[in-house]
Amino acid sequence: MPKDTQKFRIYEDVGPPPANPGPPKKWGYLPLETINVGDCLELPMDPEQASAKAQAIRNYAGRVAKKTQRKFSVRITDYGIGIWRTK
């Protein structure tokens, strides 16, 4: 192999790399930022689904609460999962 063969290329003025937004948010569609104190967000589902997803929703609500200085209560109810804004 000749010594002057290059194994790389340099491109000039290409700009910054594209943004990497990370993985999609699983619960990002929930409008937790817009509900008022005393409001309840209802997620209807069967009891098996509710018990399986409740902790993930609690974690998401906790992350939103930390960012927005609000508080939420997530409970398993007869109809599925309820999210109440408490502060």
Is 52 among the domain residues?
Answer: yes
Number of domains in the chain: 1
CB neighbours of 24 closer than 8 A, spacing ≥ 6? none
For 62, the enclosing helix (H) or strand (E) is helix 47-68
Q: State the burial class of residue 65 (Cβ atoms within 10 Å of its Cβ: 0-12, 13-18, 19+).
A: middle
**Angle, CA of 65, 55 and 85, to the nearest 5°:** 35
Q: What pLDDT score was predicted for residue 26?
A: 86
Q: What pLDDT score was predicted for residue 30?
A: 92
Q: What pLDDT score was predicted for residue 27?
A: 86
Residue 72: strand pairing partners: 85
Is 8 among the domain residues?
Answer: no
Is 53 among the domain residues?
Answer: yes
Q: What pLDDT score was predicted for residue 8?
A: 82
Is 44 among the domain residues?
Answer: yes
Q: What are phi and psi of 31, to 5 degrees?
A: -85, 55
Is 77 among the domain residues?
Answer: yes
Is 33 among the domain residues?
Answer: no
Collect the ranges in the chain with pLDDT lower than 50.
none
Is 70 among the domain residues?
Answer: yes
